[in-house]
Amino acid sequence: MTTARRDTYTPETLLTVAVRVFNERGYDGTSMEHLSKAAGISKSSIYHHVAGKEELLRRAVSRALDGLFGILDEEHARVGHAAGRLEYVVRRMVEVLIAELPYVTLLLRVRGNTGTERWALERRREFDHRVAALLRAAAEEGDVRGDVEVRLATRLVFGMINSIVEWYRPDGRGTGERELADAVVQMVFGGLRAEA
Amino acid sequence: MTTARRDTYTPETLLTVAVRVFNERGYDGTSMEHLSKAAGISKSSIYHHVAGKEELLRRAVSRALDGLFGILDEEHARVGHAAGRLEYVVRRMVEVLIAELPYVTLLLRVRGNTGTERWALERRREFDHRVAALLRAAAEEGDVRGDVEVRLATRLVFGMINSIVEWYRPDGRGTGERELADAVVQMVFGGLRAEA
């Protein structure tokens, strides 16, 4: 017999549990039963807070997307030379990724089997396009190399940044948030080659 | 009633089917039943070729690992300045990734739940360390920047290269193999910044 915990959840705190389970089992592999067990409350208690697991997914990926799109509204992302704005956006992407690690991790693993997942993929593409446009502008202003195609360069830069979710653990020894953001900016703009 | 196809498989051709199914469903989510259906032959026919799904996984990730470790034995990876050897290895990693796309994709998704998976992760780490050593040597020779910590730089470079499996499709329009390898080498060593 399982003793259900008294339901003291809010939609917000329930989300924390759900995102952890989604990241562990995959969204497709998670049932309401799994969520109920992980939260220690009954399924009907969960339904008291949310319509179902898809609503939890939508709230979770919204949080990640709001964090990312929020960057583009910040002053340093809007004002000045494109290369400077791009550098600001790259640095802030790393910061948001770290600050919202489980939410961004979930966003990056979304596959597209449900309406919510397809919406999330669509929003991710929109964000990619906004950053690609910045990269294109920086290339036109002559501050970014013109020999790598913009869409490909964007993919490689996102590949580098997004891969951080695979190994970065905030409680891990070693790399701090600031050091990581600095390293990514240096690698994205200057590459490995030593300054001449 | 399902009509089983006559078993004309070799362990090699069966592997092609298995890797496709592993990449679609995840290794954990794949049963012998799934493999039997995808191959169109009975489970006992599969057992005629291999001991089970873990043997198929081992063969598949071995193929990816042999491709990657093979690079390090090539002459240009062994002879000359470390920076030149590193550049050669980065280019060849992209080429092997493309040539063995489904096998490398599977290798990169391995989690570590079985002995074979843990062995594969161990070998991946070994490969990472070999490349990190090359990067360290290049930094000591003054050809690679010293302001980004070697382990972190290696992770970011691997993050960029490995992310290619997420979007590259050999039949896709646009990016050719050569163009992609050039772009990765340029981004890894020179970054986005336009040459002064």
Q: What is the pLDDT of residue B1?
A: 45
What number of H helices and E strands is found in chain B?
A: 11, 0
Helix pair angle (B101-109, B11-25), 10° resolution: 50
Amino acid at B63: R
What are the tens digits of pLDDT across the range A30-57?
Answer: 999 999 999 999 999 999 999 999 999 9
Q: Which residues, in sequence order, are CB contacts of B119 under 8 Å at separation 6+? A: B58
The number of helices, as runs of H, and strands, as runs of E, in chain A is 11, 0
- Contact (Cβ atoms closer than 8 angstroms) between residue A182 and residue B178: no
Find which of B90, B113, B192 to mutate to test the A interface (most A CBs within 10 Å of its CB).
B192
Pairwise CB contact (< 8 Å): B190 & A186: no
CATH 1.10.10.60 boundaries in chain A = 11-50
Q: Which residues contact A161 (CB under 8 A, 6 or more apart)?
A: A90, A93, A94, A97, A184, A188, B159
Local structure of residue B195 (DSSP, 8 states): P
Mean pLDDT of A88-116: 95
Q: State yes or no: pLDDT of B175 exceeds 80.
A: no
pLDDT at B55: 96
- In this complex, is the C-beta atom of B173 within 8 Å of any C-beta atom belonging to chain A? no
Residue A4 is predicted with a pLDDT of 59
Top pLDDT among A179 and A172 is at A179
Q: CB of A88 within 8 Å of any CB in chain B?
A: no
pLDDT of residue B12: 86
pLDDT confidence of A175, banded at 50, 70, 90?
Answer: low
The architecture in CATH of the region A62-190 reads Orthogonal Bundle (1.10)
Total length of chain A: 196
User: Can you tell me which residue has the tokens 């992209």?
Assistant: B94
Tens digit of each residue's pLDDT (9 = 90 or more) over B15-53: 999 999 999 988 988 999 999 999 999 999 999 999 999
As annotated, the residues of chain A forming the CATH 1.10.357.10 domain(s) are 62-190
Residue A2: pLDDT above 70? no
Q: What percent of chain A has pLDDT above 90?
A: 81
Please state, for a pLDDT cut of 70, what percent of chain A lies above it: 94
In the prediction, which pLDDT does A148 show? 86
Per-residue pLDDT at A65: 98
Closest CA to A134 of A184, A188, A181: A188
| CATH 1.10.357.10 residue ranges for chain B | 61-190
Structure token pair of residue A31:
């049932």
**Domain B61-190 class in CATH:** mainly alpha
**pLDDT, average across residues B80-94:** 97
- CATH classification number, A11-50, choose in 1.10.3720.10, 1.10.10.60, 3.20.20.140, 3.40.50.1860: 1.10.10.60
* pLDDT for res A3: 55
Cβ separation A192–B152 shorter than 8 A? no
What distance in Å separates the CA atoms of residue B109 and residue A30, rounded to the nearest whole number? Answer: 19
A6 pLDDT above the threshold of 80: no
List C-alpha distances in Å: A20 to A10, A60, A70: 16, 10, 24
pLDDT at A195: 73
Q: Residue B2 pLDDT > 60, yes or no?
A: no
Residue A110, chain B, CB below 8 Å: the answer is no
Q: Which residues pair with B148 in a beta bridge?
A: none
Q: What is the secondary structure of B86-99 as a DSSP string?
A: HHHHHHHHHHHHHH
